[in-house]
Structure 1
Amino acid sequence: MNTTILKPRRFSRAFIAAILICCSGCGHFSEGTLLPSGTHGAAAGGQLHQRTAPASFTKPVSFSMLQDYPKGEDFKEVALDFEVMKELGVSTWRGSFSWVDYEPQRGKFDFAWLHRFVSLAAKQGITLRPYLAYTPAWAAKGGTDKETWNDPPRHLEDWRNFVAATVKELNGYPNIASYEIYNEENVKQWWDGTPAQYNELLKTAAQVVRKGSPASLVILGGMVWPDANWVRDACVTYGNAANFDVVPFHAYPETWTPKNITVENYLDQGRPGSFYQQFVPLVDEKCGHRPIWINEAGFATAPGKTELDQANWWARAIATFLADRRVEHLGIYQIRDRHLLTAVIGESENHYLGLTRSDRQKKLAFHTVQLLVGLLNTRHLTVADSELAVEVTGGSKGELYQHLFVRPDGVQVLVVWDKTGSPTLQLRTRRGVDAFEHALNGTLTPYRSFDGRHLDKVKLEPGMVRIFEIR
């Protein structure tokens, strides 16, 4: 029987609703209003609310692609997925190396399949960022539910031995870039232990990785949301700041969040300013200014949601998260849908998170992600929102967002959308020679209403993202 824990979606809407707080409303803008970049608003009592963008800044950017594989997966299927990754322009994979799979009995390790997997990835030019997680029944301490895979280990030495054996086995593979320690451990459904027990597990694993594979990063387990309390526990209460190199969290707004939590306010969890008032200061002041990653994000095309919804979601998500000063990495969940007959933990949305269907038939979002990765995966990227001026020249503005990115080669990428309104805009960017528009399906066309500085007559429809390239 396959005992691999197939990744995601596991927590219920009720749980998420309980932990997220309502978002406040925005303001109203009339025709002809000149908006600084980063400003957004929606009709709400005729008031004007503005958010001025910070000065332009340059930051590292990178992407990864996710798909979990149970031990024994057909390597022909894995190779096909790697080809899809390369077509998308992403060469880094993230997924689980399950303790359940690779030490089914105490001291009896079974790494044969894993060696072949890592070798295949190396041959295909794929960098691997595995997370180590999921406790076998023989090692489980017991918890509050009937499951054992989410339990803390009864003996920490068993965990140490598994991590040491895995690191030793894989130490000769240069495409292993990091080891992430567990996954979504700040939610009881995925870590049925205490913060103290997790931090013991983290410290133990970090010691082993630092000694056995000193070139590999150690990554804190990806949190379900930017959880300031969990970060405080790790870095302050349990003194683990030196034992990891990256602080990651996950982002599934509009699939497993209340309606008021969207892509655009997800970092703040609906509480304006909280990301930079609470989460980031902890990471910077108490955790040694570690990089912040979103190493898992996605949107499910479950019944009631369309491929167009997913494509627009990904365009909004990539633009919103990469425009943030501190988010340096985006993990794309996932390559393909789960077959409907495949059992998953959690709700039915788990089956629909792929950029392709289970047979690798491409959804619209495949082309959208391929487009934006191709435009923005430049290792370093300048966010120039502060240099972008927007004038509403007609129509009805609702909740408008716009982001301007400048690549190292000077090419500008402008992403703009209005979630609720239909304004016509004039947008002033840095100077350029030619402008082009990219459709969500990747189609490229010249944009004629461009005078070298202004994109004119940009008509928006509610919820539809428009993407421009200025050369």
Structure 2
Amino acid sequence: MSKLISMTAAMTCLAITASAGNDTPHWSLTWKKMQTTGPELELIGTLPTRTTHELGASDWSVGCETLDRDYADFDSYKPYLSELGVTSARIQSGWARCEKQKGRYDFAWIDHIVDGMLEEGVQPWINLGYGNPLYGAEKGLGSKIFTDEPTMKAWLKFVETIVARYRDKVHEWEIWNEPNLGENRTNYDAYASLLSHTVETIRRVQPDAVIIGMGLSRMPLGYTEHVLDLLRERGQLGMIDYVSFHPYHENPDDATPGIEALARLVKSYDPDIRLFQGESGCPATLEWAHALRYYEWNEYSQAKWVARRMANDWMMGIRSSIFTFVDLQYPNMQQSFGLLRTNLFKEVVYKRPSFHTVQHMVNLFRPELRSAGHLNHESNTPRRLTVAGIERQKDGTLVGAVVWQNDRIPSDNLAFEPIELWIEGLSLKDPVLIEMITGRIYALPKYHGHSGDGRMKFTGLPVWDSPVVILERSALPEGTQTRERQISGSTRDMHF
């Protein structure tokens, strides 16, 4: 009898535990592990993670695409938008969802998203793209861009209607998504014509609208040149404010030469047109479809990838949007690009390390700190490094540098390499080290850095294949709390 009572009690305990567990939010094992690793230096603080309401305007954006096809649940992730700290978010217009009967529009679903984002302090920018099967125009990625008069007329009517509806709430409009895919790859005139007519319609309804053109898959110079040639022939180069592109590369740093070439090309046509990295991200697991497939990604390498994509964009002075906020339920698979992990019910399960990465990048790289570009440097590591300067916007003073190993695809290795690094032009009085995924701030002992001959030397500086930031303590974001260094050397010295 006693054995039966014991078994019953045990089963009851298990049931209570299981029931309690169902009401407990899931936590991220990968994020917990990242909190227990790091440079062997003294931890003295953590970057603040302020909300969008607290941060205000910036050049950072997040992808909230595919809501037009119900691949995600906006209400599930809405509460996390302001917490992330980004200023804006990309959504798609969904012509096929808005117009299911010819001439009749239903904008209730997009009203809910636009108003919900504005409540969170996040400014939506809308990608106008994809066709409508009602008019014989396909609505998928790479679908043929329509050129016939009836479909174009219906499209422009839709554009006119949606812009008129949101012109007081939405200020930026992007024309199409990756028009250089599929059979459109060499049909430059189709996109140039669509762009031309669409922008004319937008400008008529909303003269001060910001126009984002292209939405290119990667950085195809030939395609871009052909489209810009056609716009120049029509005297319409001044119609667009940005050329957007999507640099999906397994090593995000491999995209840099192509981005720089695209910038030179666009500038040669019109120096007032800027670049916008409008969509790029990384899976958190091995996938068999979509961008960056057939590579064994995980949540560690994803976080590093996102940090390097953002650091590169910031270094080049380019607006940046990270794809995507949540995992997406495509018809053939659940895509794992999300900063937030979701389940098959489209519910948020937990924040991935990449979510925290974006928070910390957004909180540190504010408009008051701008890029000084590449800094000359020397090091004793065989790995190739990127070293970019950080300067104060108000006076141009060099107050730090961001450093990372750039020569390989981001790995899941959480070890740091101690190196010697000489940085030209840097002279800091009280530098600290920030690891940008966790946002943790470390003391740099006196012997770790000294200035002389116009450069600063760091001995035993911990680096890895994700950005770390050397920054003057006084340049830390407002509200950052750090304690003074307590240990004369690094924690490495305490091990021997």
Q: TM-score, normalised by structure 2?
A: 0.69
Q: Which residue of 2 aligns with 1:161?
A: 157
Structure 1 residues 138 and 464, CA, compared in 2 at 3 Å: closer, same or farther? Answer: closer
Of 262, 277, 288, the match for 1:279: 262
Unaligned runs of 5+ in 1: 1-59, 255-261, 270-274
1:120 match: secondary structure: helix
Q: Which residue of 2 aligns with 1:67?
A: 64
Q: CA deviation at 1:323?
A: 1.6
Of 66, 83, 87, the match for 1:87: 83
Q: Is the 8 A contact 1:307 1:363 kept in 2?
A: yes
2:253 match: secondary structure: coil
What amino acid is aligned across from residue 332 of structure 1 in structure 2?
I
Q: Which residue of 1 aligns with 2:491?
A: none
Q: Which residue of 2 aligns with 1:314?
A: 306
Structure-1 separation of matches of 2:354 and 2:214: 27
Of 358, 363, 383, the match for 1:398: 383
Structure-1 separation of matches of 2:74 and 2:404: 36
Structure 1 residue 120 corresponds to structure 2 residue 112: no
2:257 match: secondary structure: coil
Structure 1 residue 290 corresponds to structure 2 residue 273: yes
Q: Which residue of 1 aligns with 2:478?
A: none
Structure 1 residue 183 corresponds to structure 2 residue 177: yes
Structure 1 residues 158 and 74, CA, compared in 2 at 3 Å: closer, same or farther? Answer: closer
What amino acid is aligned across from residue 133 of structure 1 in structure 2?
G
Structure 1 residues 228 and 202, CA, compared in 2 at 3 Å: closer, same or farther? Answer: same
Structure 1 residues 382 and 72, CA, compared in 2 at 3 Å: closer, same or farther? Answer: closer
Structure-2 separation of matches of 1:107 and 1:153: 19
Q: Is the 8 A contact 1:140 1:149 kept in 2?
A: no
- Number of positions where the alignment pairs a residue of Structure 1 with one of Structure 2: 381
Q: Which residue of 1 aligns with 2:320?
A: 330
What amino acid is aligned across from residue 469 of structure 1 in structure 2?
L
Structure 1 residues 79 and 413, CA, compared in 2 at 3 Å: closer, same or farther? Answer: farther
Q: Which residue of 1 aligns with 2:399?
A: 412
Q: Is the 8 A contact 2:130 2:138 kept in 1?
A: no
User: What is the RMSD of the two structures over their aligned residues, measured on CA atoms?
Assistant: 3.1
Map 1:358-377 to 2 at 5 A: 358=342, 359-377=348-366
Map 1:7-406 to 2 at 5 A: 62-71=59-68, 77-79=73-75, 81-140=77-136, 150-152=144-146, 154=148, 155=150, 156-173=152-169, 176-188=170-182, 194-239=187-232, 240-254=236-250, 262-269=251-258, 276=260, 279-303=262-286, 304-324=296-316, 327-339=317-329, 342-343=330-331, 351-358=335-342, 359-378=348-367, 381-386=370-375, 389-392=376-379, 394=380, 396-406=381-391
Of 444, 456, 459, the match for 1:457: 459
Structure-2 separation of matches of 1:186 and 1:78: 29
Structure-2 separation of matches of 1:352 and 1:128: 23
Of 452, 467, 470, the match for 1:468: 470
1:293 match: secondary structure: strand
Q: Which residue of 2 aligns with 1:431?
A: 427
Q: Is the 8 A contact 1:140 1:153 kept in 2?
A: no
Structure 1 residues 147 and 360, CA, compared in 2 at 3 Å: closer, same or farther? Answer: closer
Structure-2 separation of matches of 1:364 and 1:115: 31
Q: Which has the larger radius of gyration?
A: 2
1:108 match: secondary structure: coil
Structure 1 residues 380 and 105, CA, compared in 2 at 3 Å: closer, same or farther? Answer: farther
1:231 match: secondary structure: helix
Structure 1 residues 321 and 71, CA, compared in 2 at 3 Å: closer, same or farther? Answer: closer
Q: CA deviation at 1:197?
A: 1.6
Structure-2 separation of matches of 1:126 and 1:295: 16
Structure 1 residues 194 and 373, CA, compared in 2 at 3 Å: closer, same or farther? Answer: same
Structure-2 separation of matches of 1:376 and 1:441: 15
What amino acid is aligned across from residue 339 of structure 2 in structure 1?
L
More helix per residue: 2
Structure-2 separation of matches of 1:461 and 1:414: 12
Structure-1 separation of matches of 2:126 and 2:368: 21
1:357 match: secondary structure: strand
Structure-1 separation of matches of 2:100 and 2:460: 59
Q: TM-score, normalised by structure 1?
A: 0.72
1:130-161 C-alpha deviation (Å, 9 max, x unpaired):
11111111223579xx9996542542211111
